[in-house]
Amino acid sequence: MRPLEDVKILDFTHVLAGPFGTRVLADMGADVVKIMSAVRETGRTQQDSPYYLMWNRNKRSLAFDMRHEESRQLARRLADEADVVIDNFSLGVLDRWNLGYEIVSETNPGVIYVQMSGMGATGPWSDFVTYAPTIHGLGGLTYLTGVPGRGDIGIGYSYNDHQAGLHGAIAVLAALEGRRSTGRGQRVDLSQFEVGVNFAGLALLDWFGNGRSASPVTNREPYDNNAPHGCYPCAGAASDALVDERWVAIACMSDDQWCRFRNVLGDPEWARDPALATTRGRSEAAEILDQRIAEWTKGLTAEVVMERCQAGGVPAGVVQTGLDLCERDPQLKLSGFLAEIEEPHPMAGRTYADRLPIYFERTPCDEYRPAPVVGQHNAEVLSEWLGMSEEDVRRGEEAGYLS
């Protein structure tokens, strides 16, 4: 039995942030019922989209066309049975459907509502529509993770969506624990924008404490003087194409690690310079140091550099590609982190799972089902949650409000 198998979650989330959070909870055994509609299928929400397939495994699907009053009434009844109702719509959507917390909590006082809007429920920007790239920009992540002189380079994937999803999952768990002692649920307001700003914490402290404005620093640490600390080019590229370049990350975090790295390098004469014996000296000579190290790494494959450094007590890792992670990484292969889902998807066929990276000794979370198609579990869920008959469900599907 998985840890959350007695938890019922009514899931109105879409795209990535919300679905990632509910995927974590579903992996842990929660009965996550995803409200979907064929009339709203576009782009990343299409049932056979890799994006949708990735973030919606282990869930069940109900097909509701919320333009119909009958759909809204059924959703209202489901909310009365739910432990958790979660959405990442813009503000006010559930309220307009008469599904808001104030209404539902009157008949279901134990219900927990988690609202994962872009900017939170209050403030001058609360009605903004957001996606991860806009949150990255507003929260400072694009600027801080860029390179000097370029304001258009930053995080290249939806980092903040993942972080917001994890915050949403933690919020659910915390609210469930709070309900154990109070007997009541609560509304939880999660601002994805503030999640992003939270990751700029050191930059904010530097501004408020010292009046210094943070700036992009590429691979160097902005608040420590550790060196060498960066990514270095290696041999072994399959072609001259940028995508085939091979790199290794090396981070010497102390004078002792620098001494160890000197031994890995073969203790060359340039590395014996007394100015490099201290953290300050190496930091001041960082550019020249990086050039020297790059001359060495270019003659070796990234894997060899990593293995030599690690054997010598120096933190280092190959800058891995997707192909490396899926087919070459021995650590992931041994743990079975990436595996095919046994049950084929009705539309996509074979699909794969990156397993939950948390291992429970007594309640293992190792069950993986493919993402559902729209309405796949109409009869199943409506029977279990509301006691509806198959005939009632069939009539709803024919009438169009279960679609």
Q: Which helix (H) or strand (E) holds 233?
A: strand 229-234
> Minimal CA–CA distance to 114: which of 170, 58, 153?
170
Residues involved in catalysis: 161
The pTM of this model reads 0.93
pLDDT digits (tens, 9 = 90+) for 172-211: 999 999 999 999 999 999 999 999 999 888 888 888 899 9
Do 149 and 4 meet the contact criterion of CB atoms below 8 Å apart?
no
Q: What is the DSSP letter of 80?
A: H
Q: What is the DSSP letter of 51?
A: H
Return the closest-CA partner of residue 62 out of 41, 101, 32.
32
Give Rg (Cα) of the chain.
Answer: 26
Neighbours of 340 (CB within 10 A): 11
Q: What is the mean pLDDT of residues 10-27?
A: 96
Q: Which residues of 161-197 are buried (b: 16+ CB within 10 A; e: fewer)?
A: bbbbbebbbebbbebbeebeeeeebbbbbbbbbebbb
d(CA 32, CA 60): 6
pLDDT in tens, 239-272: 999 989 999 999 999 999 999 999 999 999 999 9
pLDDT over threshold 80, residue 40: no
> Are 247 and 232 contacting, i.e. CB atoms less than 8 angstroms apart?
yes
**Cα atoms in the Cβ-side hemisphere of radius 13 Å centred on 312:** 23
- Which amino acid, one-letter code, is at 395? R
Distance CA(195)–CA(201), nearest Å, equals 11
How many Cα neighbours within 13 Å face the side chain of 242?
0
End-to-end CA distance of the chain: 32
* Average per-residue pLDDT for the chain: 93
How would residue 42 be classed by pLDDT, with cut points 50, 70 and 90? low
